[in-house]
A and B are shown apart, each in its own frame.
Chain A
Amino acid sequence: AQTVTQSQPEMSVQEAETVTLSCTYDTSESDYYLFWYKQPPSRQMILVIRQEAYKQQNATENRFSVNFQKAAKSFSLKISDSQLGDAAMYFCAYRSASSGGSNYKLTFGKGTLLTVNP
C-alpha cells in the first residue's frame, strides 16, 4: 500500500519570503500522480498543484512550484513571495495511474500547518 509522509506538522514564514514544505511517499508503482492541496480555515480542499510521475519537468503554478525527485520519492512544495492568504493546512497526496485497480483513490499525508507572519 502507498503511504505519504509529511514530516513537518507546522511551518511558519514571513510575508514575502519563501517556504518549502516536505513530502515523501512510498510506492512500488512507476506511474502515478502527486498533488498538493490547500485547506484554509473554511476547510474546503483546494488543489494547488499536480505532478505526473512520468514528467521530469517540475510543475509550477504562479508562486507555487514543486521539486519532484522520483528516485528519492520526494515531492516538496515551494511557495515564493508568501502572502497572508497562503496560511492554511497543506496536504500532499498520491494517486496511482496504473490501469485497473484503485487508481481513483487519493492517499493523503497528515498535513503541514503553514502560518504566514506579517
Chain B
Amino acid sequence: NAGVMQNPRHLVRRRGQEARLRCSPMKGHSHVYWYRQLPEEGLKFMVYLQKENIIDESGMPKERFSAEFPKEGPSILRIQQVVRGDSAAYFCASSRLYTGELFFGEGSRLTVL
C-alpha cells in the first residue's frame, strides 16, 4: 500500500535551468496538492489539482511555475528558469475526497546554485 511518492528527493539546478518535480498520489486518490516549505517556515499552499484540471493555483507564482495532473501518470510541478529564491522543499499531498485527510509525500528538496 504505497503512500504518496515524490521524486526526485533531491534536485540541484543552476540558475536559469528548469526543475521538474513528480508526484504519484496514493492509490484511489484523485486530488493532489502541492505545498512549498521555505527554510524555517511552515508549508504554504501552492496549487490544487484533480485529474486533468487545475482547481486552485492561487498560491503559485504567476510566472515560471506551472503544474499539471494528466489523465495518466504523475502530477508534475515545473519551475522554469529557476532562481536562488526557489530553493525550498516541495511537498505533494493527496486525498480521496477534496475535504478528506491529506497524506503527504516525503518532499523534494530543490537547491538552486
Evaluate contact between B48 and A105: CB separation under 8 angstroms.
yes
Select from chain B the residue with minimum beta-carbon distance to A92: B42
CB contact between A104 and one of B33, B91, B107 (< 8 Å): that residue: B33
Query: From DSSP, what is the main secondary structure of chain B's interface residues?
Result: strand
- Please report the number of residue pairs spanning A and B whose Cβ atoms sit closer than 8 angstroms: 54
Q: A53-97 interface mask toward B, CB cutoff 8 Å, 1 = contact, 0 = none?
A: 000000000000000000000000000000000000001010001
How big is chain A's contact interface, by range?
Answer: 20 to 34
Q: Given contacts A102-B56, A110-B40, A111-B42, is CB(A44)–CB(B98) below 8 Å?
A: no
Select from chain B the residue with minimum beta-carbon distance to A110: B42
Query: From DSSP, what is the main secondary structure of chain A's interface residues?
Result: loop
Evaluate contact between A44 and B107: CB separation under 8 angstroms.
yes
Residues in A with CB closer than 8 Å to B72 are: none
Evaluate contact between B89 and A106: CB separation under 8 angstroms.
no
Q: Given contacts A43-B89, A44-B106, A44-B107, is CB(A104)–CB(B42) below 8 Å?
A: no
Query: Which residues of chain A from 6 to 31 have any CB-CB distance to chain B below 8 Å in the complex?
Result: none
CB contact between A45 and one of B43, B95, B98 (< 8 Å): that residue: B43
- Which 6 pairs show the lowest CB-CB distances between chains A and B? A108-B42, A45-B104, A44-B106, A105-B45, A108-B43, A104-B98
Instruction: List chain A positions with a Cβ less than 8 A from chain B.
Output: 4, 42-47, 50, 91, 93, 97, 102-111
